[in-house]
């Protein structure tokens, strides 16, 4: 008997019969068990122990070369009907999927141990917590889940009957042609097979935390979003909470850990972190939107993390951290990646485990020739973060004043604009477009529509998801203001025009002022844009005209974008809410008017 919960035991038995592990081990959350698993993983080469004087409790893991990112084309939502999964998700009939994956799971854990990981999303026992149990044959998954979520026997005590998400994961033989990440919302089940990469196998994260949670949230009246949560404390001590949704690898971790420029620090501004990837949002009794971060750690992008861009992240990963697919300094037993402060190690071992020198780098084949994979990551405990807000521990979460949408766009989207309200804001979210990144397999740098930064993560039909946003808005008597930002606009030479990172505080300042009914704004066809002097650029080395360019709205480009959005709406189909179609009509009309009728 593994647990005292008969439903959990029955299900474990069923999965063990299928996968045939040599033994079944319950993860109790103890340090002793964790340490034994670390030692075992080091003995098999699954983990490499880093220099414990310089990086205590830190390990390096290398995944299979064909298994370095989420696989959207192999991710399925298995609802009874295809229509429920919607146009964007891959769908498979639940019975067909179970049959197909049963063949892959059969005997897949022979000679291995099946670990039983009871975990909680949110504070165990709190009103908003959800529980899951993940069965896996990977020690890497166990050790990562111990960091990313709250794990252990105390979670089992919170689970009543079958009130938990059933997650079954097996590395099997990592065959990429038989890799599946399958979700069964109707039975609250996830099956993942033939992968060892984070987003595919840490079933708490995108699988439960976003896909199943968004499905549940629709029926239960709350939202699961791909959003960071941060706190800004003003010089007078007043605290404001902000959520921001950017697509994968587009700056959530960086914004969540932002350190204000010196000028703001001197004035007394403080920015603190509550979460960097997932928010669960509810309508509070006060008519405001309240957010919790259900996770307990960071699974963050390593490349680009340096003392100029994100000192808080660097301080977070100097202990008790698992690094995946970064570069090893073979002399020092430390880690390195592109964008690190240190020069490349003399004896560098790349993410594939081969000797590496800087002259091997070819920017036309970044993933193949960089020392650290572009989607290499760190898995670090949230409590390591120097900027962690005490409000992270509030079971009811924090009230949100602003929601910021964003994307990675070389052109079109200005540095920042404010929408006219919840409905227009929902529209702006539905219209996010962003260049693809290394966080998912496939081409990098291609602009695609990524509504609310949730394209790969909505567990049902996108049109109904937008309707859910509108419905939530109607229940908010004091909704957050909704903004859109773009840190990634480039000039004619392809260089970023905005310095970004800590300097994004200047944009946050305008956003916070707007939330308080202050700060100037100019009405444009797309929304409210700051006047040229509305964003404090003092002390920045911006070339003349840059701010004007950053804030400009290119009518012709926006009209092209509207046409593309119209196609996207028709692709999604007749579930797209009328209210959003009218917003699109209105935007197009305003753009035509601004173009002086020459386009109409």
Catalytic sites, residue numbers: 250
Would you say 378 or 465 has its CB closer to ligand GTP? Answer: 378
Helix 139-148 vs helix 31-44: angle between axes, to the nearest 10 degrees? 140
Query: Which tokens sit at 295?
Result: 């996770």
Q: How far is Cα 456 from Cα 72, in angstroms, rounded to an integer?
A: 7
Helix 213-220 vs helix 462-475: angle between axes, to the nearest 10 degrees? 50
Size of residue set near ligand GTP by CB under 6 A: 22
Contact flag: residue 192 with ligand SPV (CB under 6 A): no
Would you say 108 or 253 has its CB closer to ligand SPV? Answer: 253
Contact flag: residue 38 with ligand SPV (CB under 6 A): no
Q: Please report how close the Cβ of residue 138 comes to ligand GTP at its closest, in angstroms.
A: 20
Would you say 304 or 345 has its CB closer to ligand GTP? Answer: 304
Would you say 70 or 423 has its CB closer to ligand SPV? Answer: 70
Contact flag: residue 276 with ligand GTP (CB under 6 A): yes
Contact flag: residue 198 with ligand SPV (CB under 6 A): yes
Find the binder of ligand GTP among 248, 273, 412, 486 (CB under 6 A). 248
Query: Which tokens sit at 570?
Result: 């028709």
Contact flag: residue 373 with ligand SPV (CB under 6 A): no
**Which residues face 23 on adjacent strands?**
113
Find the binder of ligand SPV among 205, 455, 468, 514 (CB under 6 A). 205
Q: Please report how close the Cβ of residue 381 comes to ligand GTP at its closest, in angstroms.
A: 16
Q: Please report how close the Cβ of residue 443 comes to ligand SPV at its closest, in angstroms.
A: 16
Contact flag: residue 487 with ligand GTP (CB under 6 A): yes
Please provide the size of the chain in residues. Answer: 600
Q: How many angstroms separate the Cα of 140 from the Cα of each of 59, 63, 111, 352, 386? A: 10, 10, 17, 17, 26
Q: Which region, judged by CB under 6 A, interacts with ligand SPV, from 198-206, 262-270, 366-374, 461-469?
A: 198-206
Hey, which residues between 288 and 307 contact ligand SPV (CB under 6 A)?
Answer: 299
C-alpha count within 13 angstroms, C-beta hemisphere, residue 270: 13
Contact flag: residue 171 with ligand SPV (CB under 6 A): no
Contact flag: residue 70 with ligand SPV (CB under 6 A): yes
Q: In the chain, what is the straight-line distance between the N-terminal and C-terminal CA atoms, in Å? A: 72
Q: Which region, judged by CB under 6 A, interacts with ligand GTP, from 58-66, 296-304, 358-366, 390-398?
A: 296-304
Torsion angle (degrees, nearest 10) of CA 218, 197, 46, 119: 0
Q: Give the residue closest to ligand SPV by C-beta.
A: 199
Residue 198 interacts with, from ligand SPV, Mn ion, ligand GTP, none (CB under 5-8 Å by kind): ligand SPV
- Reduced 3-state DSSP string for 142-174: HHHHHHHCEECHHHHHHCCCCCCEEEEEECCCC
Residue 516 near residue 486 (C-beta atoms within 8 A): no
Residue 336 near residue 371 (C-beta atoms within 8 A): yes
Find the binder of ligand GTP among 180, 246, 351, 465 (CB under 6 A). 246
Residue 251 interacts with, from ligand GTP, ligand SPV, Mn ion, none (CB under 5-8 Å by kind): ligand GTP
Residue 231 near residue 389 (C-beta atoms within 8 A): yes
Nearest to 345 by CA among 326, 356, 329: 329
Q: How far is Cα 180 from Cα 51, in angstroms, rounded to an integer?
A: 36
Size of residue set near ligand SPV by CB under 6 A: 9
Place of tokens 């850990």: 257
Q: How far is Cα 517 from Cα 513, in angstroms, rounded to an integer?
A: 6
Contact flag: residue 199 with ligand SPV (CB under 6 A): yes
Find the binder of Mn ion among 225, 277, 561, 583 (CB under 5 A). 277
CA-angle at 483, arms to 471 and 261, nearest 5°: 140
CA-angle at 395, arms to 394 and 396, nearest 5°: 90
Hey, which residues between 243 and 272 contact Mn ion (CB under 5 A)?
Answer: 248
Q: Please report how close the Cβ of residue 248 comes to Mn ion at its closest, in angstroms.
A: 5
Find the binder of ligand GTP among 501, 510, 558, 568 (CB under 6 A). 501
Q: How far is Cα 322 from Cα 301, in angstroms, rounded to an integer?
A: 12
Find the binder of ligand GTP among 89, 165, 254, 387 (CB under 6 A). 254
Residues that bind ligand GTP (CB under 6 A): 246, 248-254, 276-277, 300-301, 303-304, 309, 439, 487-488, 496, 500-501, 504
Residues that bind Mn ion (CB under 5 A): 248, 277
């Amino acid at each position: 008997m593994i647990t005292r919960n008969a439903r959990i035991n029955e299900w474990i038995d069923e999965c063990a019969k299928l996968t045939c592990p040599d033994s079944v081990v319950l993860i109790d959350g103890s340090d002793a068990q964790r340490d034994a698993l670390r030692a075992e993983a080091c003995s098999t080469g699954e983990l490499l122990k880093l220099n414990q004087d310089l990086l205590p409790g830190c390990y390096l893991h290398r995944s299979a070369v064909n298994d370095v990112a989420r696989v959207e084309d192999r991710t399925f939502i298995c609802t009874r009907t295809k229509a429920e999964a919607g146009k964007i998700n891959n769908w498979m009939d639940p019975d067909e999927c179970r049959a197909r994956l049963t063949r892959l799971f059969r005997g897949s854990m022979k000679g291995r141990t099946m670990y039983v990981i009871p975990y909680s999303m949110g504070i165990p026992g709190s009103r908003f917590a959800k529980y899951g149990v993940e069965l896996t044959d990977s020690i890497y998954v166990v050790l990562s889940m111990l960091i990313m979520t709250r794990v252990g026997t105390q979670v089992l005590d919170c689970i009543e009957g079958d009130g938990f998400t059933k997650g079954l994961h097996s590395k099997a033989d990592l065959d990429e042609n038989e890799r599946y990440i399958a979700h069964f919302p109707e039975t609250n089940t996830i099956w993942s097979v033939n992968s060892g990469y984070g987003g595919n196998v840490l079933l708490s994260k995108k699988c439960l935390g976003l896909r199943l949670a968004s499905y549940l949230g629709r029926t239960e009246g709350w939202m699961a979003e791909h959003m960071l949560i941060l706190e800004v404390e003003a010089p007078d001590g007043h605290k404001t909470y902000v959520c921001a949704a950017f697509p994968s690898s587009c700056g959530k971790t960086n914004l969540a850990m932002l350190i204000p420029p010196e000028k703001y620090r001197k004035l007394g501004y403080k920015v603190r972190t509550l979460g960097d990837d997932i928010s669960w949002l509810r309508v509070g009794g006060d008519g405001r939107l309240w957010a919790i971060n259900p996770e307990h750690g960071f699974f963050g992008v390593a490349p680009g993390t340096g003392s100029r861009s994100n000192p808080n992240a660097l301080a977070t990963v100097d202990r008790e951290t698992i690094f995946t697919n970064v570069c090893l300094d073979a002399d020092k037993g430390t880690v390195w990646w592109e964008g690190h402060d240190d020069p490349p190690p003399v004896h560098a071992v790349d993410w594939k485990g081969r000797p590496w020198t800087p002259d091997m780098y070819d920017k036309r084949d970044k993933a193949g020739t960089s020392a650290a994979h572009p989607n290499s990551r760190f898995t670090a405990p949230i409590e390591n973060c120097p900027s962690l807000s005490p409000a992270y521990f509030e079971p009811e979460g924090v009230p949100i004043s602003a929601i910021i949408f964003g994307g990675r766009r070389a052109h079109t989207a200005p540095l920042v604009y404010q929408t006219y309200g919840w409905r227009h804001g929902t529209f702006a979210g539905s219209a996010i477009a962003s260049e693809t990144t290394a966080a998912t397999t496939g081409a990098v740098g291609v602009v695609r529509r990524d509504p609310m930064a949730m394209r790969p993560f909505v567990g049902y039909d996108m049109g109904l998801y937008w309707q859910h946003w509108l419905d939530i808005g109607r229940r908010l008597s004091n909704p957050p203001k909704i903004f859109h930002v773009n840190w990634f606009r480039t000039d004619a030479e392809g260089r970023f025009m905005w310095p970004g990172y800590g300097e994004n505080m200047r944009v946050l300042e305008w956003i916070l002022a707007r939330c308080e009914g202050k700060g100037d704004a100019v009405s444009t066809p797309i929304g409210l844009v700051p006047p040229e002097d509305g964003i404090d650029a003092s002390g920045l080395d911006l070339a003349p005209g840059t701010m004007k360019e950053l804030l400009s709205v290119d009518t012709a480009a926006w009209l092209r974008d509207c046409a593309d959005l119209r196609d996207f709406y028709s692709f999604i189909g007749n579930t797209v809410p009328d209210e959003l179609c009218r917003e699109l009509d209105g935007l197009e009309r305003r753009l035509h008017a601004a173009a002086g009728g020459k386009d109409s």
